[in-house]
Amino acid sequence: MFRRQFLLGSSSLAIGAGLPGCSFSVEADKGWMIDGLSFLPDDLGDVRESGLNGYIADISDIEEIKQLDGTINYKRTYSACMKSIREAREVIQKHPDIFRLALTGKDLQRARENDQCAVFFQIQGADCVEENLGQVNEFYNLGLRVLQLTHHYGNDYAGGTMDVVERGLSKRGAELIERLNDLKMLIDLSHSSPQSAMDTLALSQFPVVQTHGAARALVDNARCSPDEVIRGIGDSGGAFGVFMMSFWLTREEKPLPEHFVDHIRHIINIAGVDTAAIANDYPLRGQKNLLKLNNNNTEGVKQYLDWWSDLRKNGIRGFDIMPTHVVIPEFNHIDRMSRIHDHLTASGFARYDVDKIMGGNWKRILENTVI
């Protein structure tokens, strides 16, 4: 009963405008502002300035792993992520005037009532579960509520978007899905291969999300999701957050807000307005290097070209076309959410639909899944 029918039936309760006068709402008439993925900022003032009522925060860390061939890989190991989640908890606990560690979806409303921003801890990759599924419980007990199955490349549980040969969930991966369902943790398909995504959607008894991504129908790249995955996420009662990485939003020379809006429209056309949501995948203030460069995409994209070329050599889908930009300048800004709201409104979206896209859909899912 927790799939699409149940969740959409309760949406009218979840999307309400909330309490007036809360400083974490950009404006009282703009409803909920919830981001699908960002990070804990260095400057905590960014939280209040961003206007967010809540967000999913990647609190993971990486460790250098030497491969058999002598090369270095970077993985979100158990050790690195245990350290990082404890450090993140400490930041949250030291600043109750700013944050509330969200352990259930109901903490969104509690945070708003107490002039806080609700933060749901997330780790980008199940690599952190190394030895046994009991380690999932350890992370859960420290506050983890969202787990992404892979990050770019596959692991013991699932195939990733950048794998040379696509594969789906393993037997161990199916056991992980069951454990996450048991704990009422939200499953994140970002960076998963399409087959892993479809396998997960078939197994999960609860809504499944993609916290940050884009539509492959608009930009044909391995990192972007095909329509069957987007539709499956919607059918599960989940949400798909469109992110800020402009080289996966358009191949036009100049990235514009309209290109972001095109992906939102596509998600709605394929899976319905209750599936469309907002993500970042950069810090709250924006992509740091581009901000230093005054959003000069021609200079800023240079930091990605070596990585892009390596994937091109490996024949990964869509990397044969080199990127020319990194951000949509208008959205690489601390006031991003308010600007997106205004662009959606100017693009002809109904106010009720804008409220869903800007945060209502994330709120509904978190309140009915993370329980």
Alpha-carbon gap, residue 107 to 220, rounded angstroms: 38
Q: Is 118 exposed, middle or buried (0-12, 13-18, 19+ CB in 10 A)?
A: buried
> What domain range includes position 286?
4-15+34-369
Q: Give the DSSP letter string of 119-172.
A: EEEEEE-GGG--S-THHHHHHHHTTEEEEES-BSB--SS--BTT-SS-----HH
Residue 21 lies in a domain: no
Place of tokens 């405008």: 17
Q: Contact 222/161 with Cβ under 8 angstroms?
A: yes
Check: CB of residue 283 under 8 Å from CB of residue 277.
no
Residues of the chain predicted below pLDDT 50: 1-2, 6, 10-29
Give the model's pLDDT for residue 74.
Answer: 78
Report how many domains make up the chain.
Answer: 1
Query: So what's the pLDDT on residue 4?
Result: 61
Query: How far is Cα 7 from Cα 361, in angstroms, rounded to an integer?
Result: 10
Question: Is residue 20 situated within a structural domain?
Answer: no
Q: Which domain CATH number covers 225?
A: 3.20.20.140
Tell me the CA end-to-end span of the chain in Å, nearest whole number. 14
Bridge partners, 38 (sequence order) = 57
The answer to whether residue 22 is domain-embedded is no
256 in Cβ contact with 325 (< 8 Å): no
Angle between helices 336-346 and 257-271 (to 10 degrees): 70
Residue tagged 């606990």 (tokens):
93
Q: Would you say residue 24 lies in a domain? A: no
CA distance 212 to 210: 6
Q: Is residue 263 part of a domain?
A: yes
Residue 256 lies in a domain: yes
Note the pLDDT tens digit of each residue in 223-282: 999 999 999 999 999 999 999 999 999 999 999 999 999 999 999 999 999 999 999 999
Q: Identify the pLDDT of residue 230.
A: 98
Q: Is residue 177 part of a domain?
A: yes
- CA-based torsion, 149, 151, 156, 161: positive or negative: positive
Residue in 14, 16, 18, 31 with CA at minimum distance from that of residue 340 = 31
Whether residue 148 lies inside any domain: the answer is yes
pLDDT of residue 283: 98
Closest by CA to 120, choosing from 310, 371, 289, is 371
Cβ-count burial of 96 within 10 angstroms (0-12 exposed, 13-18 middle, 19+ buried)? exposed
Structure tokens at 175: 């056991």
The whole-number pLDDT of residue 325 equals 98
The CA distance from 31 to 149, in Å, is 31
Query: CB-side exposure of 276: number of CA atoms within 13 Å?
Result: 24
